[in-house]
Amino acid sequence: MMDFNRLPLLGEDISENLVMPNYVKIYDIIFNLIVEGVIKAGDVVPSENKLADYWKVSRGTVRMAMRKLEEDGYINKTQGKQAVVATHALQYKDGFQWLFNPCIENCVDAIDEIRISVQYQPCGVYVAHELGYKKPGDLMVFTSTDYFSNGRHMANTVTIFDAEHIEKFQLDMKDTEKMKEFSTYGLYRLAKRAKTVFNVLNADADSYITGVNKNEPVIIVEEILVDEGDRQLSYAKHQLLGSKYRFSMERKSHL
């Protein structure tokens, strides 16, 4: 088991207006330890209670960070509820590609309502690592988009992109409709390809999909959109109601 007494402390926020949630800070710490090889495949992560006491946060905050690490494939939960660093935590990050929004196009029911919230947020270590050209703390735009069909919540997308896109593409943070169009459609039109990872987890209290039944499968789709110049456009994580989404894949021999 990793020695939690040697874990870094939670960093201070850049300013009162740019506050990073504690669960993101915890995620970044553990993610960094995995990337740097400090903790390796099969290592047991300390319990949520111990980590909560160490970082002086609620157990729910630690649980949220653990959930995100599990969604992204960096830890696994054993039958005894222990969190263990995944065997393939840093492998198989390239794969299935598309150039449209799966929350809209892959739903078996027509999406008839989309809601979005928009804010500035400092870039976390993980997103900086995935985008490749950003540094932790850089200013980013964070959008949370919810998709509905006949009043039922079907999916949620968290999208993070460079704050410089606001000026570059003549966007207005206060113009909800324009931000919605850019986040759900515009980024896909700008993309040449996408690096995508799939995962499936049972729903729990931390799911972004409201009204989902406990233990109902939720499809997690994590992707990086890449533009014509091979520059990463954005990071997105989709949560989709498992019973309402279908995907087709065309595969070929690697030989």
**What pLDDT is recorded for position 80?**
64
- Sequence letter at residue 73: G
Q: Is residue 91 part of a domain?
A: no
E runs forming strands in the chain: 44-45, 75-77, 83-85, 113-122, 139-149, 152-162, 191-202, 217-227, 232-241
Q: Which of 21, 55, 85 is the last residue of a domain?
A: 85
- Whether residue 194 sits in one domain with residue 158: yes
By the 8 A CB rule, do 120 and 139 touch?
Answer: yes
Residue 251 lies in a domain: no
Q: Which of 37, 56, 85 is the last residue of a domain?
A: 85
Confirm if 197 and 95 have CB atoms less than 8 A apart.
Answer: yes
Q: Within the chain, which residues score under 50 in pLDDT? A: 92, 94-97
pLDDT of residue 94: 44
Q: Identify whether residues 113 and 237 lie together within a single domain.
A: yes
Same domain, 235 and 109: yes
Residues 15 and 40 occupy one common structural domain: yes
The pLDDT score that the predictor gives to residue 26 is 93
Based on the fold, state whether residues 212 and 113 are members of the same structural domain. Answer: yes
CB count within 10 Å of CB 84 equals 17
Residue 250, in any domain of the structure: no
Domain boundary among the residues 32, 59, 85 is at 85
Q: CA–CA separation, 253 vs 64, rounded Å?
A: 39
* Contact indicator for 169, 187 with CB cutoff of 8 Å: no
Q: Residue 177: inside a domain, yes or no? A: yes
- Considering the domain architecture, whether residues 119 and 204 belong to the same structural domain is answered as yes
Tokens at residue 116, please?
């979005």
φ/ψ of 179, rounded to 5, equals: -65, -40
Residue 225: CATH number of its domain: 3.40.1410.10
Number of compact structural domains in the chain: 2
Measured CA to CA, the distance from residue 67 to residue 239 in angstroms comes to 13
**What is the model's pLDDT at position 111?**
93
Planar angle of CA 143, 13, 136, nearest 5 degrees:
65
Is residue 90 in some structural domain? no
Question: Does 115 share its domain with 193?
Answer: yes
Residue 64 belongs to domain spanning: 4-85
* CATH number of residue 18's parent domain: 1.10.10.10
Q: Are residues 73 and 149 in the same domain?
A: no
Q: Give residue 19's pLDDT.
A: 80
Same domain, 198 and 240: yes
User: With helix as H, strand as E and coil as C, how does 166-210 read?
Assistant: HHHCCCCCCCHHHHHHHHHHHHHHHEEEEEEEEEEEECCCCCCCC
**C-alpha to C-alpha distances, 18 to 47, 140, 143, nearest whole angstrom:** 29, 10, 15
User: Which regions of 30-131 does DSSP assign to beta strands (E)?
Assistant: 44-45, 75-77, 83-85, 113-122
CA atoms within 13 Å, Cβ hemisphere of 135: 2
What is residue 134's predicted lDDT score, i.e. its pLDDT? 86
Reference 238, options 218, 210, 254, 211; nearest CA is: 218
Per the domain annotation, does 94 fall within a domain?
no
* pLDDT value at residue 92: 46
Q: Please name the amino acid found at residue 92.
A: Y
Work out whether strand 44-45 and strand 152-162 pair parallel, antiparallel, or are unpaired.
unpaired
Same domain, 135 and 72: no
Q: In this structure, is residue 67 part of a structural domain?
A: yes
If asked whether residues 118 and 233 sit together in one domain, one would say: yes
The pLDDT, as a whole number, for residue 95 is 42
Model's pTM, two decimal places?
0.77
Whether 231 and 155 share a structural domain: yes
